[in-house]
Structures are given as C-alpha cells and as structure tokens.
Amino acid sequence: MAGVRLCEPRHLYNILNQYRRLPRLAEPGYLCLLDARTQREYDESHIITARRIEQNLEGEFLVPDSEELGSVRYCVVYDCETSSLDCSDHQEEQKEKGTIENADSSSTCSQNAEEGTAVQYARSLEEFTRHPVLVLKGGYKRFSACYHFLRTQKILWMPQELDNFQPYPVEILPAKLYMGNFKQACDQQIQKDLKIKAQVNISEQPATLFAEGSKYLHVSVPDSLKADLFPTFATICHFIDTQLDQGAVLVFSSLGISRSSTVTMAYLMHSCRFTLKRAWNYVLQCKTNMRPHRGFVKQLSDWETQIFETRITDISEPNY
C-alpha cells in the first residue's frame, strides 16, 4: 500500500497552483481533493475543486472510483482541523484546548465523531493509490486562514473553467517568499492576496507595482546561455533579506521557470545555507517544472563554492 502522510498547507497551496501551458488542475488524474467535513460546512465554504466525500444510508463514507484513485498523482483529504496521523494525539490536543469536554452537538469541528475523520478516510483509500494519500495538516481551518482566497462555494467545475484558472505564484518560504511569472507580478489581486511588499524582477521587461510603498529591484537579464546572473546574486540576496522584515517578496521572470528559480536557489543557498542540491530539490518540490539552463546551473555551482569554500554538489549531466 502507498501509505498515508501529512501534508503541510503550503504543499497543497503549491499543488493547486502548478501549471505548464495550462493549469495542472485541468489535467485528468492530477489531483483528487476530498472534503471529509459535514455537508453544512462544505456548503458554506471549501477549498477550490474539493469534492465532499459521499456517504451511504448508514452514514459510512464511500470510496470514490478506484480506477480514478489508481491513476491520480495527488490524493488529498482534509477535515476541519486534524493535525496528526494519530487520532489519540489529536484527541489529547483537543482536550488541552478544552474543546472535547465543552463541545455541544452543534459544534461539528469538535465532536468526538469528527476526530481524525480525514486520517480514517485516508487509510481506507491507500490500497487504491499509487502514491501516498495526503492528509492536510491543520485541516480546512488552518488552510483557509492562510489562503482565504482559495476558498469557494463552487461545487462543479467545467473543463473550460479549469483551463482558465489563474494560478498564484508558488510559495517558497511560508507567507514570505514567492516565485512566479511576469503575468502574476502584474496582477493587482495577487499582490493584495499574498501581501506582496517587494518584487525582484529578473526579466528584461520592467513591471508595474500596484501596492503603495512597495519596493522593486529590476535585474534585466536575458534567458540565454550567455547571460550571467552570478554578479547579481549578492545584491539580490541582500535586497530580499532587507525586505522580508516588511512583508512578502515575489521573485519573478518572464515564465517563472529559469531565471526566477536560479535567483531563488541562490537566495536559499545564501540565507538558509542550503547546498545547491538541497536548494534544487526544495524549489523543484515547490514548482515541478522549474528548470535553470546549464549556464545558470554552472553559476549556482560557483555560488555554492563561494559560500561554502568548496564545491559540494556534482552538477554533471544528467544530474542537473
């Protein structure tokens, strides 16, 4: 069996906002997002594209189409606020808050019957999936507090609506550092929702800031094998460090694939002391189609050597 794992809210946020030519939410077999809360809670608000788990006449949860589960890349289950895969741990956590003893029959998020619902249901699905079933840590309560703009009452999504879904920049450091493309950087609503206070533009074209008092750094570099970002790494890292105390920072390039990911990795190596390999894997988990070209990979290797005074990561192909 594939098993069951916890999923941080940031991970689900990034899953929802992956795209290639089109948003990945439009791809069959990409995401099966299941809501294990009550019908009333689901109708009031749920995470975009989530389906409520169906129940039979006896109130037992039903398993979706096994063929669908067998081909899906991500299967994510959430309830109200489960934060552990151990149901007993979750009950102890609720007792410490005083919610179990004081809960009444109308408090669905605190009912004993709701404890660990997502975990219980996830375990019933794991035999059908090729990948681990993910349980959203903190449930809907935590996710909606972090990403209120990804809540909806919409139940049915037509294929064209998913094709036209506008992804947000991926989140690198929770509520602090984001990575995206030029279109996202020019979207006023995205800047507001993510509370972007500063931008680092690695595309040749200048962008327009919307937020009053926002800071802006433009490093005009073409996406070519001859382009050299190495001399700008220190300046960019210093700029990001100084701005993170004021609010979130968005790093972006034209497509958000090569130049922006190069700079993001350079920052993680400088300020978080990541090796190139660790920074690469970290950013790849956030954005699955990120891909610096070979020239930028060599520059990142030189940056690693400068930071750690030795070359740690083997960048020879096909590794990078």
Contacts of 189 (CB under 8 A, 6+ apart): none
Contact 270, 237 (CB under 8 A): yes
Q: How many CB atoms lie within 10 A of CB 173?
A: 18
Q: At what angle do helices 294-308 and 276-286 cross, to 10 degrees?
A: 130
pLDDT in tens, 193-242: 999 999 999 999 887 766 666 799 999 999 888 999 999 999 999 999 99
Domains recognised in the chain with CATH numbers: 4-163 (3.40.250.10), 170-308 (3.90.190.10)
- Tell me what the pLDDT averaged over the chain comes to: 89
Share of the chain above pLDDT 90, in %: 77
Of 286, 254, 300, 251, the residue nearest 172 (C-alpha)? 286
Residue 318 is predicted with a pLDDT of 83
The arithmetic mean of pLDDT across residues 274-285, rounded, is 98
Q: Give the integer Cα–Cα distance in Å for 274 and 216.
A: 25
Torsional sign, CA 20, 26, 31, 34 = positive
Q: Per residue in 89-125, pLDDT tens?
A: 545 445 454 443 343 333 344 443 344 899 999 999 9
